[in-house]
Amino acid sequence: MLERLAEDAPNRVDYARQRSQIQGLLNVALLRLGRPEEAAPVGQAELELTRSLAGRYPEDHALQHDYAVVLVNRGAMHGMRGDHERAAGLFGQAEPIARRLSNVEGGTVRDRLLLGNVLTMQAASLHELGRDEDCLPLLDEAARIWEALRSNSPGDRTDRYLISNSYMLEAIVGLALGLPGRAAEAARRRRALWDGEDPGQFVAVAADLSRSASMAESAEGPRPASARHREALDALDALGKAVSLGYRGRRRLATDPAFDAIRPLPGFDALFDPGFPSDPFARGPDPAAGGGAGGRGSFKGSR
């Protein structure tokens, strides 16, 4: 096959690119077949070939993009194996390439998506290494990229899972650093990406909002009860959306600690009832009231 590509390609650069792409596909196939020991040398050969091409043709935009993508893919593979130091190193190599491609004249949406992905993957590796504070600047920049892309093309739903995973990581890091307000905002941005085709996304959003609502203290001090109550209501609303889309995980909702903060709320027990209302809060308490007169369902923090 490679000999045929050599005949068909108009020049050696095209041939080398096609060979690298075949190595990449073979690497993925071997990994999916559960043969990582065979995939490793193939993946390394792909990396070395794309690195060589990128070094010889530094002005070739497509080759530079290919090289950054290969670095990201190799980093992801090492991350899945638990080698987060090596993964972070590969993402660190990809970052300046992706940044340069995104900033040059002629940079495309594809290039900006690549940069956002590199920043998110790098942050994920740092999180696994216990360096959550180093994640925040990367996630801040990624969020600016996502918001700019969405504002330029508000109806575009391309790469929603990529963007959604970035917001998910931001929520995880926010909670780990004692910043539940930030985690809640990331969860709300994640919800805004989805319409009605993936109930799992709404369940995950609800879990992050409920965890935020459960935190009476943040790294910045006591939290307003009204903010926590709003988070709890938003979590219940997201769960209601998930159920309306077919989610049936009653047992998880009853036992998962992530949802402890919202179980006492009016409407929670009715989530799986056939007559579950489209607006579960139509007769519920005023969010500004802080959850009623105390007891298990109230949020009596500082105001």
Along the 303 residues of the chain, how does pLDDT read in single tens digits?
434 433 444 445 554 555 555 555 665 565 566 766 666 676 677 778 888 888 888 888 888 998 999 899 889 888 988 999 999 999 999 999 999 999 876 678 889 999 999 999 999 999 999 999 999 999 999 999 998 888 776 556 667 888 999 999 999 999 999 999 999 999 999 999 887 778 999 999 999 999 999 999 999 899 999 999 999 999 999 999 999 999 988 889 989 999 999 999 988 888 876 555 545 555 554 444 444 333 333 343 333
- Helix (H) or strand (E) holding 45, with range, is helix 36-56
Return the beta strands (E) in 85-211 as ranges: none
Number of helical H runs and strand E runs in the chain: 12, 2
135 and 123 in contact (C-beta within 8 Å)? yes
pLDDT value for 187: 97
pTM above 0.85, yes or no: no
123 and 165 in contact (C-beta within 8 Å)? no
**So where are the chain's domains?**
165-303
Residue among 221, 132, 204 nearest 173 (CA): 132
* 215 contacts: CB under 8 Å, gap ≥ 6: 175, 178, 180, 223, 228
CA-to-CA distance for 125 and 84, rounded, in angstroms?
Answer: 5
pLDDT value for 297: 39
